[in-house]
Structure formats: C-alpha cells, structure tokens
Structure 1
Amino acid sequence: MDINPETVTPLSLSGNIDFNDSCNLPLNTDTLGLTYIYSLAFSLGLPCNLLSLWGLYQLGRSGGGGCQLVYILNLLLSDLLQLLTLPLWILYLQGAHRWPYGRPACEFVGYVFYVNVYASVVFLCIIALDRCLAIVHPLSSRGVRTVRVAAVLGVAVWTLTFLFCLGGLLPSVFDAERLLCLEQYPVSLRYAHFKIRSLVNYTSARIGVTLHHSPSVSDQGRHKITGILIVITVIFIVVFGPYHLVGGYRFVSLLLTDDPCELERSIFLCYRLCYGLTSLNTLLDPLFYIFLCHDARLELRRSLTPCLGQGHTAPKQVRLSLRGNPDQSDSV
C-alpha cells in the first residue's frame, strides 16, 4: 500500500504531534468574534464582580452568609482572576495570534485562565450541593456546613485544580516558532488526553448535581432546589456546554483520525468561539448568585444609599435577621 507522506503526521519521541506542522489554519477568522465576547465579558463582568464582592463584604459584616459566603467568595475570586487575563487575550487576537510578551508570561496567563475556568465549575457544583444539603438535611448537615469546613474545602479545590491543570498544560503552552500561546495545531496527544479527562470530570460533576434530590422534601424546599438546579443548568448549558461538546468531539477525533490537520481546519472557528464563550461565566455568576440573593441585595443597597444621596437605610429587623440566621441570607 502506498503511503502519501503529506498525510502522515510525524510524532516525537514523547508522543506529541510535531508542532512544525502548522496545518495552515485561518487563524484570523476568530478575531472578530472572540474580541467581542472577551470585551463584553470584561466590560460587564468586572464591575458586576466588584459590586458583588462589595455586597458580600457588607453581608459578612452584618453576620450573615455562613459557609455559602465562603463558596461564593471563592467563585468570584476565580472569576476576577480570569477577567484580568482577558485584555491580554484581546491584544493577542488583535496581533494576529502572535504573543509578544514571551514564554513565561504566556505560560502564567494561560495557566491562570484554565485554572479559574475549572475552579469556577467546581465551586458552582459545591454551591448547589450546599444549598441542597441545607434544604434536604438541615440538621444532620450542620456539622459539615460550617465556615471552617468551607474554608478547608476551598483550599482543597484550589490545590487540586492547580495540580490537575499543571499536568495538562506542562511542559509548555507556548510555540516559540509561531508565537502561539495556548494554541497547538495539531494538538499534542498529551494535551488531548488531558482535555478528555477534564470533559469526563465536568460531565460527572454535572450529573451529580442534577441527581441530588430527595423525595421527602417539602414543596417549598423542592422549589428552592429546582431553582438552584435551573441556575446551574443554565450556566453549564449556555456557557460551558458548547465548549465541552465541541471540544470533546475535537479531542476524541484527533486520537482516531489519520489527518489531524483536516480535522483542525474543519472545526477551528466553531471550537474557538465555543472556547471564548466560557469567559461569559464571569458575567453570569454574579448575576445569578448575588443579585438573586435577597439579603445580599438588601445589604448592597443599604451600603450604597449614602453614595446615592439617600438618607434611609435597610430596616433594623432585616439586619437582625441576618445576624440571627446565617442560612437565611444565602438562599436563592
């Protein structure tokens, strides 16, 4: 059988596809779409997250929030760190996919971006499970639903996420020859395996959150759990769903195809736009989890009334209720 050398993808000794094959992809086709997405996420997400942090700070000062406050703070922290990388990605796109800041900056910014994407997914799941425990098992779960446990769990999530992403993004995400940052065409086999593992973990977490329910819950409790799951589902489907579906197809197919460059060309624009959509979680998280939280809104409004030139504050009984029942303040 004759073998056409142009269709053979050379492999290095480490099992990576040779990076010298650029696949001749039309890299400029994603510039307009991703620039709009990143600009929208940054311009709206940054003030929303900062305002949300201020509201949570005021809620914590009043004695409310409980362990839910810790989880949401971690979620907003991951959103803010991800937001701070977006201006550099916009400049990278406007510079025709050429990273001018060197390898260390590329590796650091790319690592921060990915760590916070996956940390966001984990904290979304934890927030949903915490709310379900508070409603389904309010008494038996008190031992694990404490601020100390939440703080330890937050540290564990960050540590495991750092290690998980470290194994996938190293030894490098920078192509010194073409100055590509966090882009490989065709992708390395090692990175493809990493993305497939992250897809499996994402799907498992999503299914676990959806199936967490109890038939013994009252109608009011069931409505609260349903609302929480709807919020989680909207974020996962709208923001993370397209990227994981298209990415799953891409990385699995790359392990099976004999012509990876043809596959990369056919899916490039769709994959890149879905990849960009994941940054919109930085905009949706504060809208869903802070502005839909009744007592957080009250505290935020009370703290901003002097700035707005209004002399009244939140009713005294509201502030007392926040001190007396921490779990009440973080219900959605």
Structure 2
Amino acid sequence: MLSVGLPITKMATFDDNLSNQTHSSAYYCKFNEDFKYILLPVSYALVFVIGLALNTTALYVIVFRTKRWKPSTIYMFNLTMCDTLYIFTLPFLVYYYADQNDWPFSEPFCKVIRFLFYANLYGSILFLCCISLHRFIGICYPVHSLYWVSARRAKLVSVAVWAFVLLCQAPVLYFSRIRDRDTERICYDTTSPELFDDFLVYSSVVSVLMFALPFMVVMVCYGLMVRKLLEPSWGSQGGDEGERGGLAAQRSKQKSVKMIIIVLAMFMLCFLPFHLTRSLYYSFRYLRQANPAQLSCNLLEASSIAYKVTRPLASANSCVDPILYFLAGQDVRSNLTKRIKASSSKYPNASQCSTSQL
C-alpha cells in the first residue's frame, strides 16, 4: 500500500474517504486530511452567519422596500434567493465536517444538500452573467436598451436560468450517495468510486457550459464596458447644466470602473480557483485510477488539498453578492440616467421612455 507520512488519525482516500475495498493496493492512496475538519466547519459557519445577515437584509429591501422592480432588481432578487437557499444548508455541513465525515442524516437529505451547493454555485454564476449582460447593454447601448430591456424579459430570462440550472444539476441527485464505513457514514461530495468515471464526464460538461462560457461572457462584457466608460465623450453634455452633469458623470464613471474591477476580482477569487483545482484534482484522480504508476500519491494529495481549500471560496460568493451588486446597481443606474439624458436631444423619442427599466 502506498502511503504518505501519517499519524494515527482519520485518513482519506481520494475524496471524502473513498472505500478501498474494490481497489488494488497499487491503486489505493491514503493521506491525511485532518485540516478540513477545522477549515470547512469554521469557514462554512462564517459564511452562514455573514451570508444569512446580508442576504436576509437584501431580501427585505428588495421585497418590502422596492416599489418598482426593474430588470436589475429581478436578477438580484433571484441571485439572493439562490444564495439564501444554499446558506440554509450550511449548518448541516458544519456538523458533518466537525464530526469528521460522519453523516447522521438520510441519503435523500445528503443528495439535497449536495444538489443545493451546485445549484447555488452555477445559479449564481449564470445570474451574475445576466447582470453583466444587462449592464453591458445599458452602458454600451443606452438608447437601444430602452427597447431591448424590460422587467418582463428579465422575468422570462430568470425562469429560463432556473430551469437550466435545475435540469443540469438534476444528475447530482443520482450521483450523490452515502456509504457506511466502519462506524461512520460518508456523504460523498462527488459520488461513489464505481460511478466516478461517469461523474467526471458529467462534471466536465457542466463546468464548460455553466462556468467557462459564462465567465468568458462576463470578461468580454466588462472589458467593453471599461473601454466605453473610459471614453472622454462618455456622459458629456453641453452648456452649464452639461458641465455640472459632466463632472458628476465623471465621478460616477470612475466609481463604475472601480466596481467592475472589484466584481471581476471577486468572480475570479470565488469561482475560478475552485473550478481549476477541482478539474486538476479530478484529472489526477482519473489518471491514478487508470494507471497507478503514472501519478504519485503525493501529487494526488496536493491536488486534493488545493481543491478542499478553495471550496470555502466558492461558498463565500453568498456573502459577496449582496454587497457588490447593490452597490454596483446604484452606480450603474446613476450612469445610465446621465447617459440617456445626454442622448435625449439626439433621440427625442428616448426622452419619453423611463430609465427605470434599467
């Protein structure tokens, strides 16, 4: 059996203590993962406390303090709902990892918990993509956005996003399993060992469709938005009123550029490391299974540690979303109002439309 310098403590084989009953000694890797029994409960508990406070506040403001729902409000409401559903699952994961991978609940509940994690993850990514596209249209095509963007379309898009997320994440309910091992009951983060090859194909497809492509869209949108906002003519008007409005537009423009940078940084901090380390870990695990001599246990262990360290980062998006997008929404609405007023003289019909659509 291959092993890495181990104290007499709980060990992990690949992911969440995979059973070695069906694997040869040449394939089986054993390494120490005691760090996750501290890292994951503490980080998930922090996300639960902070995220619950921020998201319930956001929901209260949106539901009870917002008189007219704009498209951005609809997207933010769905994003907040997505985060809130996930946050309510965290106490169970805190208990599970604090008790060192001993699942006290049923298998269906294990499936629901894992399903909600991935539904939140990819639901958040897709709604962030929707918000980015919405802002891109509003900033780069302010007049046309009055006709392209509406609350009704935002609702239809939101329903489509939820349907797509639920459809794509439904296989998680099949792959997630529990297994009794010694005196413990494991709730697999991925799936049981015999289904891992199928899960790898499914996970790869989902990562491309629901992370890689939306991430490219967000990068392109924000890149074009920054270029547009940095144009000297953006938000400029004539006359004394235009001078005052131009100064305000410049200040608002700078805030919007900073916000875009922050959003991109947080997007890459929460989602990109998780997907990179997870893909690396899954690939190494597959290679180790296919050809044990091709990959050492030390490399597999390093990838497993990196993957588990980035899991709390993916959960942290539930805390960041309410802060970033309420703040960004205010700046963008201010920018769009100035921009559309500046264009009203050129497009008389646009002055009759309300910027509340944005």
**TM-score, normalized by length of structure 1?**
0.76
Partner amino acid for 2:176? Answer: V
Question: Which residue is equivalent to 2:135?
Answer: 131
Question: Which residue is equivalent to 2:84?
Answer: 80
Partner amino acid for 1:193? Answer: V
Question: Which residue is equivalent to 2:8?
Answer: none
Q: Secondary structure of the equivalent of 1:177?
A: strand
Larger radius of gyration: 2
Deviation at 1:271, TM superposition (A): 1.1
Question: Which residue is equivalent to 2:115?
Answer: 111
Equivalence map 1:289-308=2 (5 Å): 289-294=325-330
Question: Which residue is equivalent to 2:104?
Answer: 100
Question: Which residue is equivalent to 2:305?
Answer: 269
Q: Secondary structure of the equivalent of 2:143?
A: coil
The change in CA–CA distance for 1:216 and 1:254 in structure 2 (over 3 A counts) is same
Question: Which residue is equivalent to 1:288?
Answer: 324
Q: Are positions 1:195 and 2:199 aligned together?
A: no
Deviation at 1:195, TM superposition (A): 2.2
Partner amino acid for 1:51? Answer: T
Question: Which residue is equivalent to 2:15?
Answer: none
Question: Which residue is equivalent to 1:11?
Answer: none
CA contact (8 A) 2:176 2:192 kept: no
Q: Secondary structure of the equivalent of 1:176?
A: strand
Question: Which residue is equivalent to 1:209?
Answer: 218
Deviation at 1:223, TM superposition (A): 5.1
Cα deviation, 1:217-266, whole Å, max 9, x if unaligned, reads: 65447757644532331222211121111112122333334237935433
The change in CA–CA distance for 1:253 and 1:146 in structure 2 (over 3 A counts) is same
Q: Distance in 1 between matches of 2:98 and 2:217?
A: 40
CA contact (8 A) 1:30 1:272 kept: yes
Partner amino acid for 1:31? Answer: Y
Question: Which residue is equivalent to 2:70?
Answer: 66
CA contact (8 A) 2:51 2:319 kept: yes
| Greater RCO (CA < 8 Å, at least 6 residues apart) | 1
Deviation at 1:145, TM superposition (A): 1.2
Q: Distance in 2 between matches of 1:56 and 1:295?
A: 17
The change in CA–CA distance for 1:144 and 1:325 in structure 2 (over 3 A counts) is closer
Q: Are positions 1:232 and 2:263 aligned together?
A: yes
Q: Distance in 2 between matches of 1:285 and 1:102?
A: 31
Q: Distance in 1 between matches of 2:258 and 2:129?
A: 14
Q: Distance in 2 between matches of 1:216 and 1:171?
A: 46
Partner amino acid for 1:136? Answer: C
Equivalence map 1:234-253=2 (5 Å): 234-253=265-284
Q: Distance in 1 between matches of 2:136 and 2:20?
A: 48
Q: Distance in 2 between matches of 1:140 and 1:224?
A: 24
CA contact (8 A) 2:256 2:331 kept: no
Moved more, 79-88 or 226-235: 226-235
C-alpha RMSD over aligned residues? 3.1
Q: Distance in 2 between matches of 1:18 and 1:194?
A: 23
Q: Distance in 2 between matches of 1:122 and 1:291?
A: 19
Q: Distance in 1 between matches of 2:281 and 2:44?
A: 23
The change in CA–CA distance for 1:181 and 1:208 in structure 2 (over 3 A counts) is same
Question: Which residue is equivalent to 1:150?
Answer: 154
Of all paired residues, the percent bearing the same amino acid is: 24
Question: Which residue is equivalent to 2:240?
Answer: none
The change in CA–CA distance for 1:261 and 1:151 in structure 2 (over 3 A counts) is farther
CA contact (8 A) 1:240 1:278 kept: yes
Q: Secondary structure of the equivalent of 1:143?
A: helix
Deviation at 1:18, TM superposition (A): 8.0
Cα deviation, 1:171-205, whole Å, max 9, x if unaligned, reads: 23123233222335757011222222233231221
Question: Which residue is equivalent to 1:163?
Answer: 167
Deviation at 1:327, TM superposition (A): 4.8
Cα deviation, 1:266-298, whole Å, max 9, x if unaligned, reads: 3222211211221100110011112454499xx
Q: Distance in 1 between matches of 2:115 and 2:296?
A: 25
CA contact (8 A) 1:196 1:252 kept: no
Deviation at 1:38, TM superposition (A): 0.6
Q: Secondary structure of the equivalent of 1:193?
A: helix
Deviation at 1:23, TM superposition (A): 4.2
Q: Distance in 1 between matches of 2:264 and 2:21?
A: 37
Partner amino acid for 1:207? Answer: M
CA contact (8 A) 2:270 2:316 kept: yes
Deviation at 1:99, TM superposition (A): 1.0
Number of equivalences = 286
Question: Which residue is equivalent to 1:308?
Answer: none
Deviation at 1:210, TM superposition (A): 1.4
